[in-house]
A = this chain, B = another copy of it.
Amino acid sequence: MPRCGLTVDSLNPKVLALADHLGDDAIARRAQCIQNEIETKPGSHPFDEIIYCSLSNPQSMGQQPNKFFREVLALCNYPHLLEQSETNSLFSSDAIARAREILDLFPGRATGGYSHCQGIEGLRDIIAAGIASRDNFPCNAEDIFLTDGAAPPVHMMMHLLIRDQKDGILCPIPSHSLYTSYMVLQGATLVPYYLDESRGWGVSMSDLKKQLDGARSMGVVVRGLVVINPGNPTGHVLVEENQREIVDFCRNEDLVLLADEVYQENIYTDEKKFHSFKKIARSMGYGEGDISLVSFHSVSNGYYGECGRRGGYMEVTGFNSEVKKQVYKVASLSSCSNISGQILMSLVMNPPRVGDESYTAYQAERDSILSSFARCAEAMVCTFNRLEGVTCSKAEGAMFVFPSVRLPKKAIAAAEESNTQPDAFYALRLLETTGIVVVPGSVFGQIHGTWHFRCTVLPQEEKLPLIISRFMAFHEVFMEEFRD
């Protein structure tokens, strides 16, 4: 019998519809390829290293892991160390104490078993206490689901809310691909709303209302609204008034507010503070019965950048008990999230305190990283705003700047000729000329006819002058070449 085998056209069309940049980013592949060429044939390119300004992956850029976090993880992985006298000289005293406290939270001190599917109860208590102290409003450990980073809980919520393609979710444009990808995978209708670049990428309530009404008039049942604060890729931090408007909007329109708050610790301007949407809702007097709200956080996106540990949580409030039972059911499919990630999430929400041996070093490290981000952001914004045709909003949080580039018609034509998006064409030219990798705005979505790129503020500061001078030189030559 002849075997035809598994063919791509017999696969789930929702998988096929996922944007190719997820698995097949031409720029990332080209960067990898150039890197290999530089290593094997030094001098083959006009630069001697690839500088990744594309990755929100601080430790891959040379940032060192936080000492206290790693001490506690090591001790929890190998508790035998806690009984050895040498340990006192190898580890800080508060890391030792913390590891003991954490081990006591595990039934039978067994860190090798599956946990409760929401995560170890005692760790959720610590996280809930951290959230309560952050917000000055109570938090219930039963509302916390510990997760392997932020992707699985987003996937869970899409599974829960999306029945078929008539169901839609309001999603910001631009936004990183996590939400849009899972919407595509679940067959949801993406209802885009456009962040207002003219107001530093805030949420325009009139556009939100317009998009919601438009979708509804097309028969779309809009189930929820995604907000990313601080913003990815925009670096914007919402003002409180804007957050209150969003809360009222979700309440009035009966939408689940899906709040991506993974960059909550990365604010590097004195003018803004992070306020969780739950804090905002509670401070408006809204309780459990008034608004359905999911807050996502992870250990990947804070300044400590423990991306590889895959820790995270979602806090689910304003869901009735029947609905909550269904969330629990979906969460239980994968047994539980990884224990190291669970422990790390508890450390993030309860870092060393005043008086602890690690406190001073921990604070110094935090301040040093965030102030480096701030200086880098400022230098980049300043540089980009000096380039012909480029404007760049102030970066206030997260890890990014997201400048707009007015590309000449000739460049757009050249891009079309090479079957590339114009901003990808620009980014590829940048890579080939300078070794600098940025992410084209078309990956995140943008208003038709505008072009952007996302650049992280993570590069080591000593590389900044090089990045800036190369970028400026490249842009000048590019504009010269394609000037209309």
Closest beta carbon of chain B to A164's beta carbon, Å: 9
Tell whether, in the assembled complex, residue A323 and residue B113 are in contact, meaning their CB atoms are under 8 Å apart. no
Verify if A204 is at the interface (C-beta below 8 Å from B).
no
A114 in complex: contacting residue of B60, B112, B335, CB < 8 Å: B60
Within 8 A of B (CB), among A1-49: 1, 3-8, 10-16, 18, 20, 22-24
Verify if A189 is at the interface (C-beta below 8 Å from B).
no
User: Which B residues are in CB contact (< 8 Å) with A74?
Assistant: 73-75, 77-78, 81
Tell whether, in the assembled complex, residue A159 and residue B12 are in contact, meaning their CB atoms are under 8 Å apart. yes
Verify if A162 is at the interface (C-beta below 8 Å from B).
yes
A86 in complex: contacting residue of B86, B181, B319, CB < 8 Å: B86
**How far is A160 from B6 in the complex, measured between Cα atoms in Å?**
11
Most buried by B among A7, A8, A89: A8
A308 in complex: contacting residue of B5, B81, B309, B338, CB < 8 Å: B338
Which stretch from A147-155, A230-238, A369-377, A435-443 is at the chain B interface? A147-155
Tell whether, in the assembled complex, residue A108 and residue B328 are in contact, meaning their CB atoms are under 8 Å apart. no
Most buried by B among A110, A252, A290: A110
**How far is A293 from B406 in the complex, measured between Cα atoms in Å?**
49
Tell whether, in the assembled complex, residue B308 and residue A12 are in contact, meaning their CB atoms are under 8 Å apart. no
Tell whether, in the assembled complex, residue B151 and residue A148 are in contact, meaning their CB atoms are under 8 Å apart. no
Give the A interface residue count (CB, 8 A).
101
Verify if A80 is at the interface (C-beta below 8 Å from B).
yes
User: Which B residues are in CB contact (< 8 Å) with A148?
Assistant: 148, 310, 334, 337-338
Closest beta carbon of chain B to A190's beta carbon, Å: 16
A334 in complex: contacting residue of B1, B20, B107, B152, CB < 8 Å: B152
Tell whether, in the assembled complex, residue A326 and residue B16 are in contact, meaning their CB atoms are under 8 Å apart. yes
Verify if A135 is at the interface (C-beta below 8 Å from B).
no
Verify if A425 is at the interface (C-beta below 8 Å from B).
no
Within 8 A of B (CB), among A43-101: 55, 57-60, 62-63, 65, 67, 70-71, 73-75, 77-78, 80-81, 84, 86-87, 89-90
Q: Given A84-B90, A86-B89, A148-B338, does the pair A307, B182 have CB atoms closer than 8 Å?
A: no
Verify if A134 is at the interface (C-beta below 8 Å from B).
no
**How far is A4 from B423 in the complex, measured between Cα atoms in Å?**
44
Q: Given A74-B74, A310-B337, does the pair A60, B108 have CB atoms closer than 8 Å?
A: yes
Q: Which 6 A-B pairs have the closest CB atoms?
A: A59-B112, A23-B329, A60-B113, A74-B78, A151-B334, A310-B338
Query: Could you write out 15 A-B pairs with CB less than 8 Å apart?
Result: A1-B252, A5-B318, A11-B160, A12-B160, A12-B161, A15-B159, A16-B326, A59-B110, A73-B77, A113-B307, A148-B338, A149-B335, A152-B334, A155-B333, A309-B340
Q: Add 12 more A-B contacts to A11-B160, A60-B107, A74-B77 (CB < 8 A).
A: A5-B320, A6-B256, A6-B323, A8-B326, A23-B328, A73-B77, A74-B81, A81-B90, A112-B308, A151-B335, A178-B333, A338-B338
